[in-house]
Structure 1
Amino acid sequence: MATRQIERKPDWLKIKLATGDNYKELKNMMRGKTLHTVCEEAKCPNIHECWANRTATFMILGDICTRACRFCAVTSGLPTELDLQEPERVAEAAEQMGLSHVVVTSVARDDLKDGGASIFAATIRALRERLPLASVEVLIPDFQGNEEALRTVLEAGPNILNHNVETVERLSDRVRAKAKYRRSIELLERSKRIAPNIPTKSSIMLGVGEEWDEILQTMDDLRAVDCNIMTIGQYLQPSVNHLPVMQYYTPEQFAELKEEGMKRGFSHVESGPLVRSSYHAHDQVKSAQRS
């Protein structure tokens, strides 16, 4: 495993930009409704493809995160407000887009007693009201281990409960801020105990110094708590102030990891250099429903 930053991106990480009418319309709509997307805030490499196809991941609870993870481009600091009307605006936007699958995530809000769980629940309910046939996926923070906050989200009935471990256990404290690997695994385990019929999902990014066997161990840890869906992607450094890239994995290696995951019993494994947690999320919910 390399121990120094690799400067040059390989050819398979080249991104095709698409800024057609759908992309422009979606961007204008988000600004008009004062909404945030993780696509923009986290500098997702797939934003042009997804927005051109009229899909997006809504980011609720503002755009300032109370944590400062060393891989993440989202602004960190102390949030100043809580927008109680945000769930309804998210639902309006999703309805306007005609979505059949909606992904909702958030910044970490450690300043709130429930970590923002009540706003997640309100958003799910607002989406159900406006889009009763759509599936809803939530990508939640760890709520600092607050089981009642997790229960609040699950009782609102999302179709998929997503929480990312982000990296292998050995590197978790270096890569993430405040979040703990075992606490994340415990959250996924609790989710299945509270709502066994709601599929769970998690994601890791590669290229921050992990070993191959550690990736496989992460798969085993997730399957041990009956996690259904796993996504695996390449870490890309958002700025010089973030963690350096230690290794670029090849498409062939990502394909091999997909095979390893499927052998372990995941209902779906999305694995590729540009894969992010909500990439092709609609296909993933179909796989989870069939399993």
Structure 2
Amino acid sequence: MILIHTIESPMKNSDQETITNDKDHNGIINSTGLLHKPEWIRIKFYSDTSKIKRIKSIIRKQNLYSVCEEAACPNLSECFHHGTATFMILGSICTRRCPFCNVGKGRPSVIDCNEPNNLAQTIHKLSLRYVVITSVDRDDLHDGGAQHFSNCIRAIRDKNPSIKIEILVPDFRGSAEKALNILTATPPDIFNHNIENVPRMYHTVRPGANYNSSLKLLENFKKANPDVPTKSGLILGLGETNTELFEVMSHLRQHGVTMLTIGQYLQPSHRHLSVQRYVSPDEFKKIKNIAIKMGFTHAACGPFVRSSYHADMQEQGLEVK
């Protein structure tokens, strides 16, 4: 178990005072007890859907999955319209049952050995310069799926030698050491593992996961691969407090993380966890400023920000709203 030492946040009193009170909902509660979405929660749609249809068609033909579709990401239309996608390997069925996530749960299928080559060919066909590869949790596999990640990285680079690869990995519960040894042999350009929320909420938000183990995963990869940036992300609006949020941000910095994404949790369906609070765009701007003061080199914070949203821009340090 990791011993976590709280470090003082570099916030001035004025910084703390300008963040909305933790009890404020920033939304109107309707008769069902649910919050109405505020005006800034508006998803972009495009009248020209040809690019969106093309990407969906290519993904289907290659027997691939995108987390954009499987997780009901609010940015799907925008990303597909701009010709980008985040690919999800190791199938579409997760062995965990996180109640905030829209990815299917149950008994996963066998690994598709053709997936690395199919993925590499698809990326080449789409002329991508930057790609994010993620996966479902595969607690049924002895290495958590790390070798398949490695196989995909190799295949992608063989077909697309100039591409940058970011991997968004699960926590490799019970097999983290083995997984890190595999991934250190074929390191990505960015190593991402989402902490998701504050430790107090883990039993609700991430049942089966361990906050300390996630921090240790990020730290150990960084120690083994000091030249590869590590990245993590959170979703807000599940009941966490700002004090807890800033503490998590401090813990991430202590464990070597330099890239951060923070977005608004949006309930995929009535079967998922309900939204407790909508964080305003102004609050997200203030959170980003605090993150930079803490020493994060890259921080993307906003209602629709997700780990892989404009990940290429995040990697370049460009503004992501």
Short-chain TM bin: over 0.9
For residue 77 of structure 2, what is the aligned residue in structure 1?
Answer: 48
Question: Alpha-carbon deviation of 1:177?
Answer: 2.5
Question: In the alignment, which residue of structure 1 is the partner of 2:87?
Answer: 58
Check the 8 A contact 2:87/2:134 in 1, yes or no.
yes
| Corresponding residue of 1:39 | 68
Amino acid at match of 1:280: H
CA distance in 1, matches of 2:82, 2:59: 15
Tell me the residue number matched to 2:42.
14
Deviant stretches of 4+, over 6 Å: none
Q: Say whether the 8 Å CA contact 1:58–1:104 is kept in structure 2.
A: yes
Amino acid across the alignment from 1:53: H
How do residues 74-85 of structure 1 correspond to structure 2 at under 5 angstroms? Answer: 74-85=103-114
Q: Distance in 2 between matches of 1:15 and 1:177?
A: 29
Candidates 82, 86, 89, aligned match of 2:118: 89
Q: Secondary structure of 2:299's partner?
A: strand
Letter in 1 for 2:293: K
Q: Distance in 2 between matches of 1:246 and 1:41?
A: 23
**CA–CA separation in structure 1 for the residues paired with 2:168 and 2:51:** 24
1:67 and 1:108 in contact (8 A); partners too = yes
Contact 1:2 1:247 in 2 (8 A): yes
Match of 1:113 among 135, 142, 148: 142
Letter aligned with residue 111 of structure 2: L
Task: Report how far residue 20 of structure 1 moved.
Answer: 2.3
1:23 counterpart (52, 57, 73): 52
CA separation in 1, counterparts of 2:243 and 2:300? 19
1:258 to 288, 293, 298: 288
Residue in 1 aligned with 2:19?
A: none
In structure 2, the partner of 1:228 is 258
Equivalent residues in 2 for 1:209-228 (5 A)?
Answer: 209-228=239-258
Amino acid at match of 2:162: L
Question: Residue 194 of structure 1: CA displacement?
Answer: 1.1
Rg comparison, structure with higher value: 2
* Secondary structure, counterpart of 1:13 in structure 2: coil
Q: How many residues align?
A: 288
Structure 2 unaligned runs (5+)? Answer: 1-22
Aligned counterpart, 2:269: 239
1:195 to 206, 209, 225: 225
Deviation at 1:84, TM superposition (A): 1.0
Instruction: Tell me the residue number matched to 1:104.
Output: 133
- Pick the aligned partner of 1:269 from 285, 299, 309: 299
Take 1:281 and 1:151, find their aligned partners in 2: how far apart are those partners? 25
RMSD of aligned C-alpha atoms?
A: 1.4
Q: Residues of 1 paired with 2:43 and 2:269: CA distance?
A: 18
What is the CA distance between 1:2 and its match in structure 2?
6.1
Q: Distance in 2 between matches of 1:133 and 1:277?
A: 22
Q: Which runs of 5+ in 1 are unaligned?
A: none
Q: Distance in 2 between matches of 1:83 and 1:225?
A: 34
Residue in structure 2 matched with residue 204 of structure 1 by the alignment: 234
Q: Give the match's secondary structure for 2:292.
A: helix
CA distance in 1, matches of 2:101, 2:131: 22
Q: How far off its partner does 1:155 sit?
A: 1.7
Give a deviation string over 1:144-169, Cα, whole Å, max 9, x none. 15211122123212000000000011
Counterpart of 2:17 in structure 1 is none
